[in-house]
Chains A and B, each alone.
Chain A
Amino acid sequence: MVSEYRPLPLAEAYPGLQLIKRSAPGYVEKLERVQTEARDFARRHIDPVALSIDQRIAEQPDYFPWDIAAHAAEYGYLSFILPRMIGGGGQTSLAISILMEELSAHCAGIANIIGAHSLGLAPLAAGGYDMLKYYRFLQDTVRGEHEGRPVLWAFAITEPSGGSDIEDADEVDNIGSITQARRANGGYVIDGRKVFISNGSVARYISVYAAMDRTRPRESMIALVVPNDAPGFSVARVEHKMGQRACPAAELAFEEVYVPDTHRLGAEGDGMVQMEGVLSVSRSPVGAIATGIARGALERAWSYAANKPVGDHRLIEEQWVQMALADMAEEIHAARQAYYMSAMLLDLSNPLLALGISGRGGVGRLIDGMLCVVLNQAPMKALATQPAINKAIAAHFSEKDEPSVYRSQHLRSAMASAAKMLGSDAAMSVSARALDIAGADGSRHELGLEKCFRDAKLTQIYEGTNEINRLNLYKRLSRLGQPASGGQGD
């Protein structure tokens, strides 16, 4: 009898990777390393503290586990998605999704600190990496990581009156009092409020979306980086949440906050397209977080049932328990395939990476492989600000030159929504089923199962409620289903 449930290694969890490994061993080996290291991180730094952090924040909502963030920095998780040439991990969408599943199986709140941080950095990529402009931010982030001084980011779109609306391009114009940015003195002045911002109260930098014209937010949306010491910026409150407590959700107030032009991400009016791009990148990691929560619930319930004596036998010997465990494993399997598929689609739309995957990635690997050890060195800065390099990196994150994937924007967004919904529904159903197996015992805090259940619910809500994702899936599929002439871009 197996007394605990060990998670499958990568090649067994998603056997398709064994095929990919034949043409792109590097891509897969990197993923395997990510998984191994994440399991090590979780065992050393999450398991011993996850429950006590959850409990502490229940009593003291503004507590933040900075030591966990520092450990995450040791593992390179705060520069995980940044290009290697500026000292980042150069990791793929699939890699961060795998990281999210692994960490969430132990604590989704802690995983979400890293997830929300990466989300905050994502617009820098979505806007095209302009190294000259973003160098200060990126350098601060990467150096902070090297020095054990976590520099966290947050991504701020949700507003008090615009939760679902602001994530839906067709509805964003209906928001009355949207956060506004206006031009002033070689920069912008921001006014408004953002709510439920993950990492909002602890982030050094916040990627904020605002409308230049409140009557036309869709066309006038702009993304700006706001440092947390900008005058007029304040944390209005930290929410007292049901779960995922390690990652604070904060309400942020912007009162006449000035930022210079250099803090603008992309161009004026690009905001909505950028936001949609970021959301299609961020939803498969949410599917992965949810998959991880479900897996954590399965592992805990399995161990409980295997060790629980009931009369003359163990609970796991009862057939109804075996049926339930199998159902749970099945849901987790489906959810995992969905986010793997979605994340791989994102990686495929990355031209340099696609070349790498197909074994023709000379240039891409060269650029991606230029690792800068000492970030402050002038030659590195000079290199990073060369227009040619900028252009190559910008191409790295855009698909303009890739006609074979011209429909991919809709496909990626559709698959990301499907992965997010499948994962979050599995997280809810599996964690409730896990509680049912263990009965009243299962609701004890020490077992960690009730935390899985509380953590799970948020995955049906954030990154667009599942209702918004259903509508998005419909919209994207309806465009993909049109004749080819109508399917090109937005």
Chain B
Amino acid sequence: MTSEAESALCAGVRDFGKRTLSASVLTLDAQVQPEPPWAILSQAEELGLTLATAPQELGGAELGLPGAALVVEELAAVCAGFATIIASSLLGMAPLLLAGDMEKAKGLLDLPRAAGATCKVAAVVMPDTGRPSAVEATGVGDDYILNGTAPFVCNAGAAWLHGVLAATNQGMMWLAVPSSTPGLVVSAPIRKLGLNIVSCRDLLFEDVRVGPDMVLSRGAQAEAALRCIEMQRQRLVGALALGCTRAALREGDNYSRQRRQGGQIIAHHDAIKNLLVDIEIGLVAARALLEQSGGAADNMVISVLARILATETACQATTNAVQIFGGYGYTKDFVVEKLMRDSQQLALIGGSNGWLRVWVAQQQETGSFLF
């Protein structure tokens, strides 16, 4: 996809965010029993967001990772929860697309239509970065039996298809597991800190039997796919965080120009200027690092570094934004309250930053740090 097409899509996404998404942000967040926002998701699907990274022959927009990251960032600047649904879906589809079997992909993409569903929302089932897989596959004839409990799967319960990483006694493999597969049990939605509209559930595999046609990759190919999907996950989490940081700066800046204390708008107080410029420093630095990581085809380390910086920036930025709003920022009447919870929640996706620091150092042999 050309960069003009990319920017056209981004413009479309911005427009969608402004016209369709922004009005529902606080209502969707406040739902007691969160339901996936199907109506808005259908519109996002029409815009091509759920198939953003799929090739054109599958009806996709064929975006590369940097393009997908831009889309996710634009969405997250409006609602990080909605953006997380899209990002998780793209990750869920990734093992299928990386397998390279277009016929198989077409068949699976037709499943939701056959079932009467409108949205192709997928979910990825993989452990936190660098941790062992919770799902084990045992070969029985040509079939595989899956067992285990995958905790905290984003889009579980909403997804029609799960891209599942399973451990076998002969290494890892990726499998496609449609939601209708017998033995696949989803828990109740997890009550959590933020990203309320994302349906996160524990996924129980109880003797889930899948045929050989559901195997997407195995052995070295599966490992290569894992590295690629890991990098996508880090990059997209970074993009989500960047969107939150932009929103924090936008909201904090707007409010600081309206609220008056000490005889002037609070934007004129150094105390508030410091909070705003701290957000800006983080935003510029995180964006630069994310862009650096986005271009490289196989640059896992920079992607992880960028994700750590971007999520920590988002957490600090959104906390600052709440502080600028004072007591009002602590209420559900203003979006900064949601921003702060969302940012902290997405900092935990796929492994926390404390652990990722350890893991990224493990990836670098002595001397290969990025001096």
**Chain A residues in the interface with B (C-beta under 8 A):** 55, 58-59, 158, 161-165, 168, 171, 174, 195-196, 239-243, 249, 310-311, 318, 320-321, 324, 428, 432-433, 435-446, 450, 453-454, 457-458, 460-462, 465-467, 470-471
Contact B193–A453 (Cβ < 8 Å): yes
- Please name 6 further chain A to chain B contacts, defined as beta carbons within 8 Å, in addition to the given A242-B331, A242-B332, sorted by A numbering: A163-B326, A439-B352, A444-B192, A454-B341, A465-B326, A467-B323
Q: Flag whether B5 is at the interface (Cβ < 8 A).
A: no
The answer to whether B152 and A440 have CB atoms under 8 Å apart is: yes
In Å, the complex CA distance between A439 and B344 comes to: 10
**Shortest Cβ distance from residue A166 to the other chain B in the assembled complex, whole angstroms:** 10
A242 to B329, alpha carbons, bound, how many Å? 9
**Across-interface contacts of B131 in A (CB, < 8 A):** 310-311
Determine the residue in chain A with the shortest Cβ distance to B262. A171
Stretch at the interface among B44-52, B70-78, B118-126, B353-361: B353-361
Q: Which of A162, A437, A444 lies in contact with B191, CB distance below 8 A?
A: A444
Query: How near does chain B come to A59, taking the closest CB pair, in angstroms?
Result: 5
A446 to B329, CA, bound (A): 25
User: Bound state CA distance, A318 and B130, in angstroms?
Assistant: 14
Could you count the A-B residue pairs with CB atoms below 8 Å apart for me: how many are there?
Answer: 125
Cβ of B323 and Cβ of A461 under 8 Å apart? yes
What is the number of residues of chain B that contact chain A, defined by CB distance less than 8 Å?
45
Q: Cβ of B330 and Cβ of A163 under 8 Å apart?
A: no
Indicate if B265 sits at the interface (CB-CB under 8 A). Answer: no
Across the interface, name the chain B residue whose C-beta is closest to A466: B323
13 residue pairs of the A-B complex, CB under 8 angstroms, read A165-B262, A174-B262, A240-B333, A318-B355, A320-B358, A433-B354, A441-B151, A443-B192, A444-B191, A444-B192, A461-B330, A465-B323, A467-B269
CA distance A59 to B109 in the complex (A): 38
Contact of A324 among B271, B329, B333, B354 (CB under 8 A): B354
CA distance A457 to B353 in the complex (A): 21
Q: Which of B32, B132, B193, B351 contacts A439 (CB 8 A)?
A: B351
- A318 and B332 contacting across the interface, CB-CB below 8 Å: no
The docked-state distance in angstroms from the alpha carbon of A441 to that of B132 is 16
Task: Indicate if the CB atoms of B332 and A457 lie closer than 8 Å.
Answer: no
Do residues A457 and B340 form an inter-chain contact, with CB atoms below 8 A? Answer: yes
B319 interfacial contact with A, CB 8 Å: yes
**Per-residue contact bits, chain B 304-342, to A (CB 8 Å; 1 contact, 0 not):** 000000000001000100110011011111000100110
* Chain B hits for A164, CB < 8 A: 261-262, 326
Q: Is the CB of A436 within 8 A of B354?
A: yes
- Partner of B271 from the list A311, A428, A470 (CB cut-off 8 Å) is A470
> Which of B164-201 touch A at CB < 8 Å?
190-194, 200
Contact (Cβ within 8 A) B330 A195: no
**A457 contacts across to B, CB distance below 8 A:** 319, 322, 330, 340
Asked if B349 is at the interface (CB within 8 A of a chain A CB), the reply is yes
Query: Is B263 close to A, CB under 8 A?
Result: yes
Give chain A residues whose Cβ lies under 8 Å from the Cβ of B357: 320
Kindly list chain B residues whose C-beta atoms are within 8 Å of the C-beta of A471: 271
Shortest beta-carbon distance, A450 to chain B, in Å? Answer: 4
**Contact present for B348 and A439 (CB under 8 Å):** yes
Q: Known contacts being A165-B262, A470-B271, is A435 close to B352, with CB within 8 Å?
A: yes
* B193-A311 in contact (CB<8A): no
Check B347 for interface membership: any CB of A closer than 8 A: yes
Bound-state Cα–Cα, A38 to B178, Å: 52
Measured in the bound complex, the distance between the Cα atoms of B355 and A369 in whole Å is: 56
Cβ 8 A contact of B192, one of A242, A437, A445: A445
Name the distance in Å between B201's Cβ and chain A's nearest Cβ. Answer: 11
Tell me whether A467 and B271 are in contact in the complex, defined as CB-CB below 8 angstroms, given that A165-B262, A320-B354 are known contacts.
Answer: yes
Q: Which residues between 13 and 27 of chain B lie within 8 Å of chain A, taking CB atoms?
A: none
CA distance A230 to B132 in the complex (A): 64
* Contact A461–B326 (Cβ < 8 Å): yes
Evaluate contact between B345 and A443: CB separation under 8 angstroms: yes
A450:B192 contact, CB within 8 angstroms? yes
B128 contacts partner chain A, Cβ-Cβ < 8 Å:
yes
CB distance from B315 to the nearest CB of A (A): 6
Q: Are A242 and B327 in contact (CB-based, < 8 A)?
A: no
Residue of A nearest to B353 (CB): A436
Contact among B190, B260, B355 for A444, CB-based, below 8 A: B190
Which residues of chain B are within 8 angstroms of A458 by Cβ–Cβ distance?
330
Contact status B326-A239, CB under 8 Å: no
For residue A195, which residues in chain B have a CB less than 8 angstroms away from its CB? 327
Query: Could you tell me if B327 and A311 are in contact, using CB atoms closer than 8 angstroms?
Result: no
Q: Is the CB of A171 within 8 A of B263?
A: yes
Cα–Cα distance between A59 and B319 once the two chains are bound (Å):
24
B349 touches which of A440, A461, A466 (Cβ 8 Å): A440
Given A240-B332, A324-B354, A461-B327: A163 in contact with B348 (beta carbons within 8 A): no
Distance (whole angstroms) from the CB of B29 to the closest CB of chain A: 11
Q: Are B191 and A445 in contact (CB under 8 A)?
A: yes
